[in-house]
Amino acid sequence: MTTTTPEHFLNRELSLLAFNERVLAQAEDPGVPLLERLKFICIVSSNLDEFFEVRVAELKEHIALDSSSVSADGLSARQTFRDVAPRAHVLVEKQYETLNQAILPQLAEQGIRFLRRTYWNEEQAAWIRAYFFRELMPVLTPIGLDPAHPFPRVLNKSLNFAVELSGRDAFGRNSGAAVVQAPRSLPRVIRMPEEIAGCEYGFVFLSSILHAHVGELFAGMTVQGCYQFRVTRNSDLFVDEEETKNLREALQGELPHRHYGNAVRLEVADNCSPEMADFLLAQFNLGREDFYQVNGLVNLVRLMQIPDQVDRPDLKFPLFIPGLPSQLTKPGDVFRAVRRGDILLHHPFQSFQPVIDFIRQAADDPQVLAIRQTVYRTGTDSMLMQALIAAAQSGKEVTVVVELMARFDEEANINWAARLEEAGAHVVYGVVAHKTHAKMALVVRREGTKLCRYAHLGTGNYHARTARLYTDFGLLTCNEDICADVNEIFTQLTGLGKASRLKHLWQSPFTLHNQVIAAIRREAEHARNGLRATIIAKMNALLEPEVIRALYEASQAGVKIELIVRGVCALKPGMPGLSENIRVRSVIGRFLEHTRIFYFRDNGAERVYLSSADWMDRNFFRRIEACFPVLEPRLKKRVIAEGLKPYLKDNQQAWEMDHQGTYRRRIRRRARPYGAQQALLELLAKPVA
What are the two backbone dihedrals, phi and then psi, of residue 183, each rounded to the nearest 5 degrees?
Answer: -60, 130
| pLDDT given for residue 250 in this prediction | 46
Distance, C-alpha 48 to centroid of its chain = 11
**Binding residue per annotation — 426?**
no
pLDDT per residue over 123-180, tens digit each?
999 999 999 999 999 999 888 887 556 788 888 999 999 999 887 765 555 667 889 9
For 6-315, which CATH superfamily applies?
Polyphosphate kinase middle domain (3.30.1840.10)
Tell me the percentage of the chain whose pLDDT exceeds 70: 93
Q: Do 357 and 390 touch, CB atoms closer than 8 A? A: no
The band of 670, judged by pLDDT with boundaries at 50, 70 and 90, is confident
* List of residues 6+ apart from 204 with CB closer than 8 A: 114, 115, 124, 128, 189, 190, 192
Tell me if domain 6-315 and domain 320-499 are identical in fold.
no
Name which of 168-182, 314-328, 369-383, 567-581 the model is least confident about: 168-182
In this prediction, residue 378 has a pLDDT band, given cuts at 50, 70 and 90, of confident
The answer to whether residue 637 scores a pLDDT higher than 90 is: yes
In this prediction, residues 207-220 reach a mean pLDDT of 90
Q: Is 407 assigned to a binding site?
A: yes
Assess whether pLDDT exceeds 60 at residue 386: yes
DSSP letters along 279-325, please?
A: HHHHHTT--GGGEEEESS-S-GGGGGGHHHH---GGGSPPPEE-B--
pLDDT value, residue 150: 78
Query: Given pLDDT bands bounded at 50, 70 and 90, which one contains residue 108?
Result: very high
* Active-site choice (434, 437, 463, 526): 437
* Cα–Cα distance list, 639 to 466, 519, 540, 608 (Å): 20, 18, 17, 8
For residues 64-78, give the mean pLDDT. Answer: 91
Q: What is the pLDDT of residue 138?
A: 92
CB count within 10 Å of CB 364 equals 13
44 vs 500: CA distance, rounded Å: 44
437 given a catalytic annotation? yes
**470 annotated among ligand-binding-site residues:** yes
Q: Is pLDDT above 50 for 240?
A: no
Q: Which residues contact 148 (CB under 8 A, 6 or more apart)?
A: none
Neighbours of 644 (CB within 10 A): 20
pLDDT at 60 over 80: yes
pLDDT value at position 151? 85
Amino acid at 368: V
The count of other CB atoms within 10 Å of the CB of residue 654 is: 24
Whole-number Cα distances in Å, 371 to 200, 361, 462, 475, 503? 51, 11, 15, 17, 22
Which phi and psi angles does 527 have, rounded to 5°?
-65, -40
What pLDDT sits at residue 153? 85
Q: What is the pLDDT of residues 404-438, one digit of tens each?
A: 765 656 777 778 888 999 999 998 887 878 889 99
Q: Is 91 helix (H, G, I), strand (E, B) or coil?
A: helix
Q: Does CATH place domain 320-499 in 3.30.870.10?
A: yes
Residues 589, 677: contact at Cβ < 8 Å? yes
200 contacts: CB under 8 Å, gap ≥ 6: 111, 112, 194
Torsions phi, psi for 175 (to 5 deg): -80, -20
Please indicate if the annotation marks 191 as binding a ligand: no
Span 550-604, pLDDT tens digits: 999 999 999 999 999 999 999 999 999 999 999 999 999 999 999 999 999 999 9
d(CA 643, CA 415): 35
- Please state which CATH number belongs to domain 507-687: 3.30.870.10
Q: Is 665 annotated as a binding residue?
A: no
Residue 633 has pLDDT above 70, yes or no: yes
Q: 42 pLDDT band (50/70/90 cuts)? A: very high
pLDDT at 389 over 90: yes
| pLDDT interval class at 242 (50, 70, 90) | very low
pLDDT band at 256, cuts 50/70/90? low
Question: In the chain, where are the structural domains located?
Answer: 6-315, 320-499, 507-687
| The pLDDT of residue 619 | 96
Residue pair 432/241 in contact (Cβ under 8 Å)? The answer is yes
Q: Is the pLDDT of residue 496 over 90?
A: no
Instruction: Work out the average pLDDT over 442-466.
Output: 95
pLDDT band at 189 (very low <50, low <70, confident <90, very high): very high
Q: Provide mean pLDDT across the span 304-330.
A: 94
> Quick one: average pLDDT of 324-352?
94
- Residue 191 and residue 308 in contact, taking contact as beta carbons nearer than 8 Å: no
